[in-house]
Structure 1
Amino acid sequence: MTRLFAAQAAEDGASISAALLAEAVRAVWRLEALPETALGPQGKPFFPSHPALHFNLSHSGPYAFCALSDAPVGVDVERLRPRRAALAKRALSEEESAWYVSRGRRWEDFYTLWTCKEARVKCLGTGLIQAPASISVPLLESGAAAALDGLVFTTYAGEGYRAALCSPTDTAALEWFTFS
């Protein structure tokens, strides 16, 4: 089972990522202390003392996201902001680019695709070792889910962000934590 948690900080989501992970681990796996983390060869975090427990983190702007699962999982969140048009040309495949253009070159659509790409490579533990345009993802509207290549992609949208979850097993509802 996969669970997805998010929180919004006053300024920087990085500042609450560890607290979000600790709260999620406590809520889902009933572990009182956050296990020590380590990084795999391409930078994917894991718990060496609990190899069957999978997690992934992402933060952008004030947003922090944390996915927990009993299978490999990847999550990415991006704060919505305009970028140079050349970014879309470099990051998207021909099919993705045509879809993006047909939708009016909206940055919301670009970030939906981009977060799916990031979530995929994070789930697989490969990192961005290949050109982003060569990373296949489904063409999804925000809030939709679809399977591709044995992976399930779920997208999320909110005021100011787009996010995606990738897992070989299932989708997850987004649960928000509030820190005081």
Structure 2
Amino acid sequence: MTVSPPILQAPTVLDLTAPSDALRRSMERADGFPPASLWLVDAVAQEAAADRLAAQVLDDEERRRAEAFRLDRDRRCYTAAHVALRLLLGARLGTTARAVRMDRETCPTCGGPHGRPAVAGAGGPHFSLSHSGDLALIAIADTPVGTDVEQFHSLETVTDVAVSLHPSETEELVALPDRDRPAAFARAWSRKESYLKGIGTGLSRDPSLDYVGAGPVPAPGPDGWTLTDVAVPDGYAAAVALRR
């Protein structure tokens, strides 16, 4: 029997001060880890903890990237997101956050070493990270996974970018009143990015090729994938794509 995914999947709101054993227990079920776990990080609420932990857990490249942001808001969200990812992966792997080594899979588009982010070495869990505005969303799973969170864009931006979507999605957006388009676009874009991140191409694959829908419920996932919206605060949309 095929079980339909929920319309909305609720993430766990992450407290960066939680002990690693508490994080691990919250990911576990009686029969092991669930197929996918979702974690939401409020970068504003977690700013002090993220800044305190950054020097301890981020590697040199992550710290350089954080320092390169011109806007404090972008730096804050990047730092909180990457601290959170390392804490979660460390808890999942039974090691320290700093000891987690990151790698890149082969890009399926060009064969270069810049595909989907991965834990270095065989046997690590699959994961995906996204951040936008003041929120970060992290997915950890037993199979390839992609996730994306999008803050609503202005109507002008939506109008400019909507033409890059699947033709049916563009038509769905055009048919809506102006006030509804930013939310619908964010839904469509977060679904699309989740899938493209899951397959490892990112936006090197033309966003117009895959139909995920701009309506309240995602279209059936592309072949072999389950696509589900994620419950996030007002002003944002999010989704997760999990390979079946």
- TM superposition score normalised by structure 2: 0.61
CA contact 2:169–2:214 (8 Å) conserved in 1? yes
Deviation at 1:52, TM superposition (A): 4.1
From 236, 239, 244, give the equivalent of 1:161.
236
CA contact 1:145–1:152 (8 Å) conserved in 2? no
Q: Give the gaps of 5 or more residues in structure 1.
A: 170-180
Question: Which residue pairs with 1:23 in the alignment?
Answer: 87
From 37, 40, 64, give the equivalent of 1:6.
40
Note the aligned Cα RMSD (angstroms): 2.1
Question: Is 1:148 matched up with 2:226?
Answer: no
Q: Give the gaps of 5 or more residues in structure 2.
A: 1-34, 45-72, 106-112
Percent identity of paired positions between Structure 1 and Structure 2: 28
CA contact 1:138–1:148 (8 Å) conserved in 2? no
Deviation at 1:136, TM superposition (A): 2.8
From 167, 187, 211, give the equivalent of 1:136.
211
Larger-gyration structure (1/2): 2
Deviation at 1:147, TM superposition (A): 3.1
Question: Which residue pairs with 1:68 in the alignment?
Answer: 140
Question: Which residue pairs with 2:183 in the alignment?
Answer: 108
* 1:115 counterpart letter in structure 2: S
Residues 100/120 of structure 1: CA separation in 2 closer, same or farther (3 Å cut): same
Deviations 1:120-146 (A, max 9, x none): 11100112123211233245416x684
- TM superposition score normalised by structure 1: 0.81
Deviations 1:79-130 (A, max 9, x none): 11214312111x2122111222233351111011111111111100112123
CA contact 1:42–1:126 (8 Å) conserved in 2? no
CA contact 1:58–1:76 (8 Å) conserved in 2? yes
CA contact 1:54–1:70 (8 Å) conserved in 2? yes
Which structure has more relative contact order (CA 8 Å, sep 6+)? It is 1
Question: Is 1:87 matched up with 2:152?
Answer: no
Deviation at 1:151, TM superposition (A): 0.7
Count of aligned residue pairs for this structure pair = 166
Deviation at 1:164, TM superposition (A): 1.0
Question: Which residue pairs with 1:42 in the alignment?
Answer: 114
Q: Which structure: greater strand fraction?
A: 1
Deviation at 1:64, TM superposition (A): 0.7
Q: Secondary structure at the match of 1:148?
A: coil
